[in-house]
Amino acid sequence: MNQAALVQRLGRFLPSGRSLVIGIPFGFLTLFFLVPFLVVLKISLSDQEFSIPPYSDLTSVEDFTLSIRLNFEHYRTIFTDNLYLLSYLSSLKVAALNTLICLLIGYPTAYLIARASPRNRNLLLMAIILPFWTSYLIRVYAWIGLLKDQGLINQVLLWTGLVDTPLRLYRNDIGLHVGLAYSYLPYLILPLYAHLVKMDTRLLEAAHDLGAKAWESFLTITLPLSTRGIVAGSLLVFIPSVGEYVIPEILGSSDSMMIGRVMWDDFFNNTDWPVASAATCVMVLLLLLPMAWFQTVQNKELKRA
């Protein structure tokens, strides 16, 4: 067998370039998302024990008999205990409001960057990306110095005479939403900018030539063409906001009910890993619903195209 025939025969057993490109992200998601999720799912179906680790095995062998014990009691607790139900509802409400705030600030910002000159566009994009070069925790802590009663914002307001007493901006819902909006705003701006910068501006010029006003062009051309960017950016903001723990702990009220805090308490204070894992699984499934909806809508649009 000559060398060319050998290479051709071996090539049949090697993955194609397309399979390799798809396989790398698929393997990454399997290794770092699916496998950890299956481990958490396994813990959620076990019993709590005072041991290391603090949960029982799902299987046991006795007298050559394999027994599998799945405990669904933790899921019943999740759906019947008001603490978890109220925490989920509160987290969804906070995440939805944060998404709306980011959308109101992020859309004009993304539009401004997309319509700027190439040189200014790069500078503006750098201004959006630059905070990522600093630690997320340090950036959140920095807001304490700005929001507290003796912070920079209150000092400026008092100095200008706009207020007589310091405003309560720290350790309440205002501080929570300021921290969330600041931290997740780039996740909305960047995908939205990617859609707006590709938009054909000749459509706007044609609408202007036909007598359409600026707001009519925006509502009939710009907004519909940027819908995918709005949805993608909103999901990138909404999903991590639901399970956020650090910002509510540092900037939010001490009695705010976020599911991230509840899971932290179950994991590290109560050492009840099965219930915390059940709460995690329910949260993941809850967050998969909007992603599945978005994927369904995208598939329908591709079929129409």
pLDDT tens track for 225-271: 998 899 889 999 999 999 899 999 999 888 778 899 899 999 988 88
Task: In whole angstroms, give the CA distance from residue 138 to residue 15.
Answer: 44
Task: In whole angstroms, give the CA distance from residue 44 to residue 275.
Answer: 6
173: in domain: yes
Total-model pTM: 0.85
pLDDT tens track for 252-264: 888 778 899 899 9
Domains identified in the chain, total number: 1
8: in domain: no
69: in domain: no
Task: In whole angstroms, give the CA distance from residue 284 to residue 263.
Answer: 13
Structural domain for 219, as ranges: 83-271
6: in domain: no
- pLDDT < 70 regions, the chain: 1-4, 6-16, 304-305
53: in domain: no
* pLDDT of the residue at 278: 94
70: in domain: no
* pLDDT of the residue at 25: 82
Q: What is the CATH number of the domain that holds 204?
A: 1.10.3720.10
* pLDDT of the residue at 15: 66
279: in domain: no
58: in domain: no
Q: Cis link prior to 53 (omega < 30° from 0)?
A: yes
Task: Please report, rounded to a whole number, the percentage of residues in the chain having pLDDT higher than 90.
Answer: 51
* pLDDT of the residue at 103: 96
